[in-house]
């Protein structure tokens, strides 16, 4: 990560790498035992266990997770929740793929004369999935690669690939996982079952498939979330891009910025669509383009998810607390001015501690607020704040809200 981007991400979260000066005043990052703060279903289940002590640096908890399918890392609480859902889904899919009907369907797959289908059967992850946009690119490119003298086989191959793509989207939605996940084990299992359904006449019952363990879905039942999920299931990546482009253009976003955002290699079609739907739901709010410009700095899947949740937090506040009238950058932060005259900073972080730089950021915000003196200040985070941070921000006249992921029903 570049120095500039590292500063911007950390400043957005209001918690930067701890300063060493005046250790008696400012807090240090720490290692904790996960049972001290994780709910039981995230600590351990029949398919996973958080191992060792959890190290917190910057603004995220760093987890090491053991499972029957290998050891995984998870940077942040949201990524841990995603991972646990995926591990339960992998178990369920393995049970399906162990049936006699699945074995018979696999034989039919391997008999297929279609080149792309054989590749899927022998190396499904490399052929279809990629990290994280390969799925969309493969399916979008099929038509081009077969353009010209198309045979009956080629027509059938395209149809089978499109069937596979839609089945995987439907199947993933029922499992409560992201079809565009970069988890290679998830993609292997999705491709095996999806491919057998597309060409091998295998028809697993999605609704009755056993899924052990908690699904741990945070999102609320909201109209815009329902519409979003329907779009993610029914529409291929190319169709989502068309819709997202249209929505952003209607917001008055610059065409070049739209293209850069939608072309960013670390944003899956799901990331992009969630961000666009969130911004679209804030009709009339000035400065929404600043979220897209900030999002361009993502250098990992974890950061892409953080920017997605930032957009969701803004939409949730706008919808449920007070309308936002303007979003603007300030000292590498994103601040929102509300209709009731408050100035709000929202930060997707796991743990906020009172570091030297966090103190400076809050001092600058309250002593030199953009747009004049507001009626009040608010700090809203997805995770929790330390006792010292609560006391210090309260003394500065800043109201705080924690666990906004639950309050606003954010999508992991």
pLDDT value, residue 103 = 76
Strand partners, 379: 345, 400
Answer yes or no: is 24 within a domain. no
Which stretches of 162-262 are assigned E, i.e. beta strand? none
**Which domain does 147 fall in, by range?**
115-199
Residue 140 counted as domain residue = yes
Instruction: Give a yes or no: residue 174 inside a domain.
Output: yes
194 is a domain residue: yes
Are the C-beta atoms of 316 and 350 separated by less than 8 Å? no
Alpha-carbon distances, residue 148 vs 74, 143, 145, 151, 161 (angstroms): 45, 10, 9, 9, 18
The answer to the question of residue 75 being in a domain is no
- Whether omega for the bond prior to residue 132 falls within 30 degrees of 0, making it cis, is yes
User: How many angstroms separate the CA atoms of 232 and 234, rounded?
Assistant: 6
Residues of the chain with pLDDT under 70: 1-24, 35, 57-58, 112-158, 160, 200, 204-223
Q: What is the pLDDT of residue 233?
A: 92
Q: What share of the chain is helix, strand, coil (3-state, %, to 5)?
A: 50, 15, 35
Q: Would you state the pLDDT for residue 55?
A: 78
**pLDDT value at position 25?**
80
pTM exceeds 0.75: yes
| Domain contains 191 | yes
Residues 18-76 have pLDDT tens digits of: 333 344 488 877 777 776 788 889 999 999 999 988 877 668 899 999 999 999 999 99
User: Does a structural domain hold residue 179?
Assistant: yes
The length of the chain is 412
The answer to whether the Cα torsion of 128, 134, 136, 141 is positive or negative is negative
In the chain, how many domains are there? 1
| pLDDT value at residue 152 | 44
Cα separation of 147 and 407, whole Å? 49
152 in a structural domain: yes
| Residue 204: CA count within 13 A, CB half-sphere | 32
Residue 165 token pair: 């793509």
């Amino acid at each position: 990560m570049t120095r500039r981007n590292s500063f911007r991400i950390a400043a957005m979260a209001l918690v930067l790498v701890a300063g060493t000066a005046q250790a008696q005043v400012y807090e240090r990052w720490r290692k904790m035992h996960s049972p001290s703060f994780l709910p039981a279903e995230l600590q351990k289940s029949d398919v996973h266990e958080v191992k060792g002590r959890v190290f917190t640096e910057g603004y995220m908890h760093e987890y090491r997770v053991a499972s029957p399918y290998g050891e995984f890392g998870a940077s942040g609480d949201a990524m841990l929740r995603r991972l646990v859902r995926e591990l339960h889904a992998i178990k369920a899919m393995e049970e399906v793929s162990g049936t006699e009907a699945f074995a018979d369907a696999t034989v039919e797959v391997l008999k297929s004369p279609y080149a792309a289908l054989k590749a899927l059967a022998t190396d499904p992850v490399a052929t279809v999935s990629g990290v994280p946009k390969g799925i969309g690119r493969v399916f979008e490119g099929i038509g081009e690669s077969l353009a010209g003298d198309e045979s009956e086989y080629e027509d059938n191959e395209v149809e089978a690939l499109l069937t596979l793509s839609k089945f995987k989207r439907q199947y993933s939605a029922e499992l409560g996982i992201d079809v565009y996940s970069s988890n290679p084990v998830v993609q292997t299992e999705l491709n095996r079952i999806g491919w057998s359904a597309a060409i091998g006449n295998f028809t697993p019952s999605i609704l009755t498939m056993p899924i052990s363990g908690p699904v741990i879905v945070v999102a609320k039942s909201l109209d815009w979330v329902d519409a979003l999920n329907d779009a993610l299931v029914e529409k291929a990546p190319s169709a989502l891009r068309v819709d997202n482009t249209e929505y952003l253009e209607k917001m008055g976003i610059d065409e070049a910025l739209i293209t850069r955002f939608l072309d960013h290699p670390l944003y899956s079609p799901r990331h992009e669509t969630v961000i666009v739907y969130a911004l679209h739901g804030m009709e009339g709010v000035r400065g929404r383009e600043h979220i897209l410009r900030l999002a361009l700095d993502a250098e990992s899947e974890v950061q892409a998810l953080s920017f997605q949740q930032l957009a969701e937090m803004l939409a949730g506040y706008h919808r449920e607390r007070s309308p936002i009238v303007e979003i603007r950058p300030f000292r590498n932060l994103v601040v929102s001015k509300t209709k009731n005259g408050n100035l709000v900073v929202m930060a997707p972080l796991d743990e906020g501690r009172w570091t030297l730089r966090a103190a400076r950021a809050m001092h600058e915000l309250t002593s030199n607020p953009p747009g004049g003196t507001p009626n009040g200040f608010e700090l809203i985070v997805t995770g929790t704040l330390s006792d010292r941070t609560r006391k210090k921000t309260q003394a500065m006249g800043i109201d705080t809200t924690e666990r906004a992921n639950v309050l606003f029903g954010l999508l992991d």
